[in-house]
Amino acid sequence: DAGVTQSPTHLIKTRGQQVTLRCSPISGHKSVSWYQQVLGQGPQFIFQYYEKEERGRGNFPDRFSARQFPNYSSELNVNALLLGDSALYLCASSLRTGGYYGYTFGSGTRLTVV
Amino acid sequence: DQQVKQNSPSLSVQEGRISILNCDYTNSMFDYFLWYKKYPAEGPTFLISISSIKDKNEDGRFTVFLNKSAKHLSLHIVPSQPGDSAVYFCAASVDSGANNLFFGTGTRLTVIP
């Protein structure tokens, strides 16, 4: 039974570049959320998608964008990378929206911006 | 603006004893709370949750207590086991249909054999 899978696991990018992170939810899960975890902090909400529609957006600049595909997988895009974007990016899936349903997180993508 | 706070960055407990992890929140609109456990190189794993209509929820060795008037919740682990050593995050949402969770900064629990 595959869990939430994220790719790549590690990534090094240069300031100003663009990056795309990918996430495949648990089979049957229609909601995908993205979180950013900076070292020493808790995860911070970026986006949630449910049934291919954006259902929530956190306090992140427009350089961050995402989308969900018909198979419920998702991509997170970050443009014009800054050093401060270095973080662990976590994808979480759930059956539906809402914290009640409890997210299942992937292992994350570690992004380093140099 | 940290709405969920875990003021103890670390905690060490002897195996077999009780571990108590604490969490405070500032947003009175929060009405659903969750605890997640995170091992290195893994994503957070859901542990236990509690709705604001309850003051206690128990699942095996894990019990979460909620004190709404104090805006405080705690996670009790009894008895603590070495495998419990991990970072524990407290999280909160505005309601069960909310899109996002607000996480605390985490507490690293070390259970000493």
* B78 CA to centre of own chain: 14
| Interchain CB contacts (distance < 8 Å): A and B | 75
A105 in B contact zone (CB under 8 Å):
yes
pLDDT digits (tens, 9 = 90+) for B43-58: 999 999 999 999 999 9
Q: Is pLDDT of A99 > 60?
A: no
Mean pLDDT, chain B, whole residue set: 93
Contact B41 A107 (CB under 8 A): yes
Question: How far is the alpha carbon of A2 from chain B, nearest alpha carbon, in Å?
Answer: 14
Question: How far is the C-alpha of B10 from the C-alpha of A99, rounded, in Å?
Answer: 26
Q: Is pLDDT of A20 > 60?
A: yes
Q: Is pLDDT of B96 > 60?
A: no
Question: How far is the alpha carbon of A36 from chain B, nearest alpha carbon, in Å?
Answer: 11
What does the pLDDT read at residue A16?
98
Q: Is pLDDT of B33 > 60?
A: yes
Contact B98 A98 (CB under 8 A): yes
Question: How far is the alpha carbon of A38 from chain B, nearest alpha carbon, in Å?
Answer: 10
Q: CB-CB: which of B45, B89, B100 is closest to A58?
A: B100
Residue numbers in B near A60 (CB within 8 A): none
For residue B9, what are the CA distances in angstroms to A57, A109, B53, B88?
28, 24, 28, 10
Mean pLDDT, chain A, whole residue set: 92
Mutate: best of B38, B52, B100, partner A, most A CBs <10 A: B100
What does the pLDDT read at residue A24?
97
Q: Is pLDDT of B104 > 60?
A: yes
